[in-house]
Amino acid sequence: MNPWRVRKAQPADARGIAQAYVDTWRAAYPGILPDRVMIGLSVDRQASDWRRQIERGGQRDGVLVAEAERTVIGFSSFGPAAAGAHVGEIHTLYVLTDWQEQGVGRALLTQAFEALAGAGFGSAHIWVLADNPSRFFYEAMGGKRGVERDEQLWGAALREYAYGWSDLAVWLTERART
Ligand SMILES: CC(C)(COP(=O)(O)OP(=O)(O)OC[C@H]1O[C@@H](n2cnc3c(N)ncnc32)[C@H](O)[C@@H]1OP(=O)(O)O)[C@@H](O)C(=O)NCCC(=O)NCCS
């Protein structure tokens, strides 16, 4: 297995993140999201969105990449759940198919939680599509399923579950090294 590491994203990572975003969406969401969403994904558009997000930076949010041999193999973005919120949110977390089940997702989640805790967030959650089997990863990571919502996305009502971690400091102490 090739060595990999997780680090803070730089603007030069934007294209690698964009490619990983498009690849993981097209692998994970057929049958869950409309086909036209997968067809319409654009690496160029994603790259400029991610570049802007990384350059904007911020005290309370951030983007991480997992890389192997200078290639982005996973990424995560996080920040306040809403403007001014005291609860943190994992906005995105994706690992390339070939790199799944090797601890990359856990490492990205752990470093995102460390950054959120360091920015003063005591708790955090993530919204996951109910039909996405990857949601069981968050259960494996100790997230507790909480409220649900129906998001109107691409003309369809999509059910989402929130998975929550009520005490990041305790989670980081107890779970990060398991
Ligand atoms: C979900 C995802 C981020 C997990 O990343 P990963 O690198 O494969 O996960 P890890 O290897 O770090 O797994 C850590 C633990 O969770 C478990 N796990 C991983 N995916 C799981 C799943 N879908 N269901 C149940 N458990 C899972 C692993 O078996 C491992 O367990 P262990 O501690 O007993 O060994 C990744 O599979 C992914 O990107 N999936 C597709 C995209 C997606 O839907 N992302 C979520 C959007 S919200």
CATH number for 9 = 3.40.630.30
Domain span holding position 14: 5-174
Q: Tell me the CA–centroid distance for residue 106 and ligand 1, in Å.
A: 7
Number of domains in the chain: 1
- 100 exposed, middle or buried (CB, 10 Å; 0-12, 13-18, 19+)? middle
Q: Tell me the CA–centroid distance for residue 137 and ligand 1, in Å.
A: 4
CB 129 near ligand 1, within 6 Å: no
pLDDT of 85: 84
Q: Which residue has the tokens 């969401």?
A: 29
In angstroms, the Cα distances linking 110 to 11, 17, 36, 138, 162 are 22, 19, 33, 12, 18
CB 93 near ligand 1, within 6 Å: yes
pTM beyond 0.85, yes or no: yes
Digit-by-digit pLDDT tens for the chain (178 residues) are 679 999 999 999 999 999 999 999 999 999 999 999 999 999 999 999 999 999 998 889 999 999 999 999 999 999 999 988 899 999 999 999 999 999 999 999 999 999 999 999 999 999 999 999 999 999 999 999 999 999 998 888 899 999 999 999 999 999 755 5
CB 109 near ligand 1, within 6 Å: no
pLDDT of 58: 87
